[in-house]
Chain A
Amino acid sequence: MENNLENTTNNNKINIEYSQFDSERMRLNAGPQHPSTHGVLRLEVELDGEIVTDIIPHLGYLHRCFEKHCENSNYNQIVPFVDRLDYVSAINNEFPYVMAVEKLAGIEVSEKVQILRAMCAEINRIANHLLAISAFGLDSGAFTPLLFLFREREFALGILEKLSGARLLYNYFCPGGVRYEIYSDFKKDVKVFIDSVRLAMKEMEDLLIFNDIFIKRTEKIGLLPKEVAINFACSGPVARGSGINFDIRKSAPYSSYDKFDFDIPVVEPGKEVVGVSGDCWSRNWVRVKEIEESCKILEQGITLLPDEGSVTDGIPKKLKVPAGEVYCKAENTKGELGFYLVSNGSDKPERVRARATSFVNLAILPSISKGYMFADLIMILGSIDIVLGEVDR
């Protein structure tokens, strides 16, 4: 793996034979209280001047015993806990969990619910990517994009608030359906939201994405070759930025995603807009394009979503889950999120295991950021887009 990294061409890495210099290394403790470690991640960084020679991530500052809690809660009570994994995209966390319970309990879900769930997940995905892009801009020092995109994010949260009653931790999906009925102006709101997001992203491309300083900061930085990404089991925009055409929505369509027509943005080698495949800019660019694809899904969802029918009828009065085990995965905003459930037939699961996307994606950080500057390390961390709630669980 290390060899792959060293041999990559087009690398902006500073090539210094460290052993030749007898310089003193500095150990810098970035985090857990640092402005841009995206939470309480602690990075013990070894610096040679400005150049990062070693990174030791320390996790666990936000450990909340998610999996142990689940063993003591019944199936419905776990949903609020699942929300709090990746708290930026809570709906997308609920999705695989609820599907897992439904699979285990053998609950059939109506088509309207499936389409509504997909739409909610896409609204949430846009909200997450808006935050990811703007926070990435903030890491590079641009403050204004953050607040511009928060304006659009506010729309997304508003729609989800009207649906579920909460702004961030929704607890909206439940086995068999969703908690509350759709409000009357839902489709109209989504239409307005799509238009405003498209406008804002156009503005954002002018202001940040194609800004020369931003490009210089991100292109050819944090190069993640395709093979390394596969070896580390990366998924989501991180993998797609490295040219891996992998998206569970396409490769194993769940819920109603087979009804929608959308593309998977992948930055393949040789087809880059800026920079090279697998750098920070590409990962960010995948997110920018995914917002457009999510808008497409939402547009189709508006026409597909039937007006009649209830979304709460399918919820069973008493959830009976037979003994058994199931693994269910879905494309979270950050990649593959899966839940492995073991049931012993009682009302509480025997074991809940989450395959947390951010945790797996974060694992690449030490191997892709050595040899870059400290400022680049922050950019690489921002481009991976982690949420510590999911890393530490």
Chain B
Amino acid sequence: MINYLKNIIKGFSTILVGMKVTFINLFRPNVTVQYPNVHPLVRAGSDKMPDNARNKLNVIIPKCTGCKSCEKACPVNCITIETTKVASIDTEKPLMEDGKKRVFWLSQFDIDFAKCCFCGLCTIACPTSAIVHSTDFEYSCYDRNELLVHFSPFNKEQVAEKKRILAEEVKQKAEKALADKQAAEKAAQEQNITDSKIKSSDDQTSANQNIQNNSN
């Protein structure tokens, strides 16, 4: 009987203790913030996002060499890079941010943020810190395709143009190589025949001129 009453009193008192706790908390200030009105950067405990915060990726194209390290480092294959070699006959002479000569055009640099897992491995792999995390985390959208972000500075026509220039250069080089080959063959033939030395020397000078034009 005493035990029975004890249990009732114990149960009742623990409930009162719990009610005391909630009553005290009723008058404590709130710890939440109203998110879109108050930016979460000012939430309790930290006044800014940490330096290494991993949010949306950003690519600084002038820094990017097109080495594809990030593409290889990505565990979910969300980065797609396509590079086009800078043609030597291109009138545009691109430079890197540090003043060095650019080797590759970034004809395609896509990051699919629907796939990205924000592990940060690409930023570690990048030798020139071209791919970095920004502080932007509010990029939700209604269409999944909007999450596929193109970082390449070129549009499709420009990419086609650059590819055309490169193809032209390749073609020219091939022609030159062919011409060289033909000239060499011809020279060899002529040496074999050793008929008219004057005529062959004329041919050689014209071939030299061709090479000089090409290299310019």
Contact = CB atoms under 8 A, between A and B. Distances in A.
Interface of A: 73, 76-81, 83, 144, 148, 151, 154-155, 158, 161-162, 164-166, 169, 171, 179-180, 183, 189, 203, 206-208, 210-213, 216
Contacts of A148: 25
Contact of A158 (B45, B74, B118): B45
Contact of A171 (B14, B15, B119): B119
A212 B121 contact: no
25 contacts: A77-B74, A77-B75, A79-B119, A80-B121, A148-B25, A154-B31, A154-B45, A162-B46, A162-B50, A165-B52, A165-B53, A166-B54, A166-B120, A169-B119, A171-B120, A179-B124, A189-B45, A203-B21, A207-B17, A211-B14, A211-B17, A212-B10, A212-B15, A213-B14, A216-B11
Contact of B21 (A73, A80, A158, A207): A207
B20 interface: yes
A111 to B, nearest CB: 23
Between A151, A162, A213, the greatest number of chain B beta carbons within 10 A of the residue's beta carbon is seen for A162
B1 interface: no
B54 A207 contact: no
A77 B121 contact: yes
Given A165-B54, A165-B120, A213 B75 contact: no
A80 B117 contact: yes
A142 to B, nearest CB: 9
A151 B31 contact: yes
A209 to B, nearest CB: 10
Given A151-B31, A154-B44, A77 B73 contact: yes
Contacts of A210: 14, 17
B36 interface: no
Given A80-B121, A154-B44, A161 B50 contact: yes
B61 to A, nearest CB: 23
Determine which residue in B53, B73, B74, B75 has the highest number of CB atoms from chain A within 10 A of its CB, and name it. Answer: B75
Instruction: In the A-B complex, list the 6 residue pairs whose CB atoms are closest, starting with the nearest.
Output: A77-B75, A165-B52, A212-B11, A80-B119, A165-B54, A212-B14
Contacts of A211: 14-15, 17-18
A171 B121 contact: yes
B22 A169 contact: no
Interface of B: 10-11, 14-15, 17-18, 20-22, 25, 31, 44-46, 50-54, 73-75, 117-121, 124, 133
A130 B177 CA distance: 73
Contact of A166 (B25, B74, B118, B124): B118
Given A154-B31, A161-B53, A165-B54, 13 more contacts: A77-B74, A79-B119, A81-B75, A151-B31, A164-B52, A166-B53, A169-B118, A171-B121, A206-B20, A207-B21, A211-B15, A211-B17, A211-B18
Contact of A179 (B20, B21, B120): B120
Contacts of A161: 46, 50, 53
A154 B40 CA distance: 13
Contacts, number: 77
B171 to A, nearest CB: 39
Interface of chain A, main secondary structure? helix
A202 to B, nearest CB: 10
A189 B53 CA distance: 17
Contacts of B22: 144, 207
Given A151-B31, A207-B21, A169 B10 contact: no
Contact of B75 (A80, A164, A166, A206): A80
A73 B75 contact: yes
A165 B49 CA distance: 9
Contacts of A77: 73-75, 121
B175 to A, nearest CB: 42
A159 to B, nearest CB: 9
B17 A206 contact: yes
Contacts of B25: 144, 148
Nearest to B14: A212
A144 B31 CA distance: 14
Contacts of A73: 75
A216 B119 CA distance: 44
A148 B133 CA distance: 32
A270 to B, nearest CB: 21
Contact of A180 (B45, B52, B73, B75): B52
Contacts of B21: 203, 206-207
With a 10 A CB-CB cut-off, give which of B17, B52, B54 has the most chain A CB atoms.
B52
Contacts of A206: 17-18, 20-21
Contacts of B121: 76-77, 80, 171
A80 B22 CA distance: 40
A100 B121 CA distance: 20
A189 B47 CA distance: 13
Contacts of A144: 22, 25
Contacts of A207: 17-18, 21-22
A145 to B, nearest CB: 10
Contacts of B133: 165
A274 to B, nearest CB: 11
Nearest to B7: A212
